[in-house]
Structure 1
Amino acid sequence: MQQLDTLIESARTWSDRATHSAHDADANAEAEVARIMQICNACRYCEGFCAVFPAMTRRLEFGTADVHYLANLCHNCGACLHACQYAPPHEFAVNVPNAMARVRMNTYRHYAWPRALGALYERNGLALSLALAGGLALFLILPLALRGTLWMSAPGGNFYEVFSHSLMVAFFAPPFVYALVALALGVRRFWRETSAGHASGPAVLEAGGAVATLKYLDGGHGEGCNNEDDAFTLSRRRFHQLTFYGFLLCFLSTCIATLYHYLLRLEAPYAYTSVPTLVGTIGGIALVIGVVGLWRLNVRRHPLAGDPQQKPMDRGFMALLLLIAASGLALEVWRATPSMPILLAVHLGAVLSFFLTLPYGKFAHGPLRAAALLKWAIERREPNRTGLTED
């Protein structure tokens, strides 16, 4: 009994130390952003690059909420790093992209819902994402193999001959709804803690335009950002747009197919020339091109730009998107062949893995960044009470 008490006490001590260590790391990352922003506030050479620097001039001090806000306002384009005269190896060691990326990861954990699951951000890497997708695909493949329908040609390539529509809805709706609720609650906490204020129509339109066009990936001058060297390039912005709009088109295709099924009573499979199929195919192709391009840029990125420790999470997210898009396109091409059940299981496994990791992976940066852009659109319409000018 005494040995058991000793083990329990040791476990509690280890847990407390781990918690304190994580809090110390978060505090250090936030303190580094505050230090850098003080230097940037004195220099202000980069204030035309993106929204971070004019938002910075509205502050004389940088508390936790301010740092969280600025970190999610940063698009990590790297332009300020390559332009900064105080960047490493200067003794000031000003590295805005790296410092902001470290805090951004902290905010993903901090605003995760439930908060206890925020620790998944540290484990949501490439291997975990692919292992989860593979495991779920295998889970779907096994019953097909047991009933002898793993290799079969369904009439007209009908997916529901393999898995019924009601089964798919029961299987995928709960994790999808949970992911949306978790993300929404996280953004709500971010909004409250950063005192974002009340949005007006013009502010919403401005923020929506910045999100839709990825405005702040143009380096502030329209020539683009920096990736592996001092050369400006719009590649990152274009690949992000292909990924963003490809994903939206794929989601729109699913929504249209849902309307076809429930409102028009038209059941899948749909013809290659139908609206949901065309929209999904275009979205899938755009998604593949965008993700492959972003992966290539991620591999070649300058080591000082961003946080290298987050690359497994970034690549895990990209790998899932690529697997979803590629398997979906393959499913369209070979849906009338005996390989359709296997392709369907792989695709559904990747989609379910994506839903399950959605609130605890790189996808969270989208809603939080959109909220930060809306806060900036609200803020810039208010008087600057610091005494510092923005221009």
Structure 2
Amino acid sequence: MQTELIHEARRQAEICNACRYCEGYCSVFPSLHAERAFSDGDITQLANLCHNCRGCYYACQYTAPHEFDLNLPKALAEVRRNSWECFAWPQPLARRFHTHGGTIALALVIGFAMLFLAIRAIGSSGGEGFYAVLSHNAMVAIFAPAFLLPLFSLAISLRRYWVEVGGKPVQIADVTAAFKRAGKMQDLAAGHAEGCNFEDEDRFSQARRHLHQAIMYGFLLCFASTSIATVMHYGFGMHAPYGFWSLPKLFGISGGVLLTVGCGAMVYLKQKSDRDLGDPMAWGGDIAFTLLLGFVGLSGLGLYALGSTAMMPALLAIHLGSVLTFFVLMPYTKMAHGFYRLAALIRDAQRKRALMSAG
């Protein structure tokens, strides 16, 4: 971990702990105010609890030009990004994506798409639909490792994080509480029923919270579509292609729409926001990841709409290339932040449970 980032975040956290004006804003401040002193692990935990809603900054009386020069959202964002880089495995890949995210994502999508086209040129298995371009066995051979290896990498990263923040053995109640908060994304509203000031300091809005929900549930629907199709294929011998009213199609199309719209609107929202209240080093990587995830949804919808035309092989190669890129880069992009935030919420649930037991 970069000690100067930790030291600056600790300085600001100590001032916030003395002030306590933002006590009810989000999960960060109850956790922050529960401590008298902050270890490196405490600062890392606070950083991953923070959703960068920025409500505390706009409410703060100690921001520049005050001599305290507080900018807690930025300080925690920098620690958060640095923690992901330090805990990532292999570590150099995470640092590289944050600085060259757009170039890396684009190069991989094009490269993988060309690979899939080359496989088709060599010859297909003569199956139906998409399997006429790339056999089912070939898809499994390519995407199973591409899905499992990133999960293994994330497991190592999260283990390192858990040790750093002093995590205890997990109980079901902790996980339930964390999933409930994650599902509602209530911390994105900065503790206010009317929302936060992410895109405009003078206007409260729920837009960022709702767009996060669209992206999250869109991704989960797409994942459910693939999972159900797998069960249908191996468990019931029902092979693709599937009809429009089948669960894989209904979940996949609705998920693709949510992903496409949510990611496009999120990029627009980020362009309107103040970059000085986030981590400037993570900006390019954040935008690249959001665009990549949105393109996965958009290319999937395009493939569905034009799947019966002569454009299908090229569209399939592009879509599979974007999906493979997403999985390969998953541990090193902002996709990892969902796992870290959930771990931080579980750790926070443990803190609350310990306080209740002590009381």
Same fold, TM exceeding 0.5?
A: yes
- Aligned partner of 2:157 in structure 1 is 186
Normalised by the length of structure 1, the TM-score is 0.87
**Is 1:32 equivalent to 2:8 in the alignment?**
yes
Distance 2:130 2:116 in 1: 13
Moved more, 132-141 or 261-270: 132-141
Corresponding residue to 2:147 among 176, 195, 203: 176
More off after superposition, 258-267 vs 108-117: 108-117
> Aligned partners of 2:294 and 2:310: how far apart in 1?
23
Please give the alpha-carbon distance, in whole angstroms, between the structure 2 residues aligned to 1:312 and 1:336: 36
Q: Which residue of 2 aligns with 1:228?
A: 200
Asked if 2 retains the 8 angstrom alpha-carbon contact of 1:73 and 1:372, the reply is yes
1:43 aligns with 19
| 1:329 counterpart letter in structure 2 | L
Q: Which residue of 2 aligns with 1:206?
A: 177
Unaligned runs of 5+ in 2: none
Selected match of 1:138 from 111, 114, 118:
114
Instruction: State the one-letter code of the partner of 2:158.
Output: V
Q: Residue type matched to 1:374 in 2?
A: I
Cα distance in 1 for partners of 2:41, 2:326 equals: 29
Aligned runs of 1:279-318 on 2, under 5 Å? Answer: 279-318=251-290
Structure index of larger Rg: 1
The residue aligned with 2:190 is 219
Write out per-residue CA displacement over residues 284-330 of structure 1, whole angstroms, 9 at most, x where no aligned residue: 00111110111011111113321122111001111111111001001
Residue 76 in structure 1 maps to residue 48 in structure 2 = no
Aligned residue for 2:90?
Answer: 114
Which of 350, 354, 359 aligns to 1:378? It is 350
The alignment status of 1:368 with 2:344, answered yes or no, reads no
Is 1:62 equivalent to 2:33 in the alignment?
Answer: no
Q: Which of the residues 238, 247, 269 maps onto 2:210?
A: 238
Distance 1:69 1:370, change over 3 A: same
1:145: how far off? Answer: 4.9
Between the aligned partners of 1:100 and 1:367, the Cα distance in structure 2 is 17
Residues 203 and 378 in structure 1, CA contact (< 8 A), matched pair in contact too: yes
The answer to whether the 8 Å contact 1:72/1:368 transfers is yes
Q: Distance in 1 between matches of 2:294 and 2:78?
A: 25
Structure 2: which amino acid aligns with 1:166? N
1:6 alignment partner in structure 2: none
Assess if the C-alpha contact under 8 Å between 1:331 and 1:340 holds in 2.
Answer: yes
Q: Distance in 2 between matches of 1:122 and 1:271?
A: 40
**Residue deviations 1:235-293 (CA, integer Å, cap 9, x gap):** 00000000000000000000000011101111111011111001100000011111011
8 A contact 1:134–1:349 mirrored in 2? yes
How far apart in 2 are the matches of 1:45 and 1:361? 33
1:99 to 52, 61, 75: 75
Contact preservation (8 Å) 2:120, 2:134: no
What residue ranges of structure 1 are gaps of 5+ in the alignment? 1-22
Partner of 1:14: none
Aligned with 2:138 (options 156, 163, 167): 167
Q: Distance in 2 between matches of 1:181 and 1:120?
A: 20
Work out which of the residue numbers 282, 298, 313 in structure 2 matches 1:326. 298
Task: Tell me the equivalent position of 2:324.
Answer: 352
Q: Sequence identity, in percent?
A: 42
Partner Cα distance (2:85, 2:280) in 1: 17
Whole-angstrom CA distance in 1 between matches of 2:257 and 2:244: 15
CA distance in 2, matches of 1:27, 1:219: 28
Q: Bigger CA drift: 41-50 or 308-317?
A: 308-317
Superposed CA offset, 1:323-352 (max 9, x none): 110010011111111110000000000011
Paired AA for residue 250 in structure 2: L
CA contact (8 A) 1:198 1:378 kept: no
- Deviation track 1:200-247 (CA, whole Å, cap 9, x = no partner) reads 333322111001111101120211111232211000000000000000
- The residue type equivalent to 1:220 in the other structure is G
1:108–1:121 Cα contact (<8 Å) kept: no
* Residue 128 of structure 1 pairs with residue 99 of structure 2: no
Question: Which residue in the other structure is 2:227 paired with?
Answer: 255
Aligned to 1:15: none
Flag the 1:275–1:87 CA change in 2: closer, same or farther, 3 A.
same
Amino acid at match of 1:214: M
The residue that corresponds to 1:7 in the other structure is none
- Which of 336, 340, 346 is equivalent to 2:308? 336
> In the alignment, is the contact (CA less than 8 A) between 1:207 and 1:377 conserved in 2?
yes
Give the letter aligned to residue 160 of structure 2. Answer: R
SS at match of 1:381: helix
CA RMSD of aligned residues (A): 1.9
Partner of 2:248: 276
Query: Does the CA-based 8 Å contact 2:98-2:281 persist in structure 1?
Result: no
